[in-house]
Amino acid sequence: MIEVTVEDYKMLLGDGVNIRYFDQGDKLPQKHQLHIELEDSSSIVCTVQMYGGMWVFKDGQNDNPYYIAAKEKTSPLTEQFDESYFMKLFKDTKQTASVKAFLATEQRIPGLGNGVLQDILFNAGINPKSKINSLSEKEQKKLFHCIKQTIWDMAENGGRDTEKDLFNASGGYKTVLSNKTVKSPCPVCGGTIVRQAYMGGNIYYCPECQPQK
């Protein structure tokens, strides 16, 4: 989510909103949901996809649970998101939940959604459908480290290559598992990557490297 302060108001652009910058004189897209013209006549134009949303509200008057979680919950990019914090999240979750349900639903970890999930679990060698109570202590620790490392890599490289920035350029992080790579063999074992609809959004995994438990 991107929050912009506009005098007494907040403008909020959520995940699923395409935000593009256009110089003065550039041809603007005809279809859009928001056009902000700046003082130098350049523009920011937003289009909304699927679940995306845009809001304007007085500070303190937005009770959207995704917004509140994004503001209040500990980001995995911070030092406060350490192993003991992660283990508490893990223990506070219903133990029959799947790994995907634990990581990417109910806003336990802000910013960790379905798109980011795939490479984290590939790096950890964990299947998204495995139940969390099937993970050994070693796997729980590995999962924690892979969350930190993978999200950090994505942020450092300007986002995933499946997403575009303000200037319509793709992110510099090369996704291992995504709709861009689904036809390629597993980079570790050469096996076939599986794509399945599961809990709101496709999951991608290698059945060899990420056996389901």
Distance, in Å, from the CA atom of 70 to the CA atom of 159, rounded to the nearest integer, reads 18
Residue closer to Zn ion by CB (options 17, 99) is: 99
Distance, in Å, from the CA atom of 196 to the CA atom of 124, rounded to the nearest integer, reads 19
Residues 166-195 that bind Zn ion (CB under 5 A): 186, 188-189, 191
x-marked contacts with Zn ion along 133-172 as a string, rule CB under 5 A:
----------------------------------------
Sole window of 38-46, 51-59, 148-156, 204-212 interacting with Zn ion (rule: CB under 5 A): 204-212
Residue closer to Zn ion by CB (options 4, 188) is: 188
Residue 110: CB minimum distance to Zn ion, A: 30
Residue 179: CB minimum distance to Zn ion, A: 18
Residue 191: CB minimum distance to Zn ion, A: 5
CA dihedral 142, 143, 147, 149 (to 10 degrees): 20
- Under the binding rule (CB under 5 A), the answer on residue 209 touching Zn ion is yes
Which among 187, 181, 82 has a CA at the least distance from the CA of 141? Answer: 82
What is the DSSP code string of 40-88?
TS-EEEEEE-TT--EEEEETT----HHHHHHHHSPPTTSTTS-HHHHHH
| Binding stretches for Zn ion (CB under 5 A) | 186, 188-189, 191, 206, 208-209
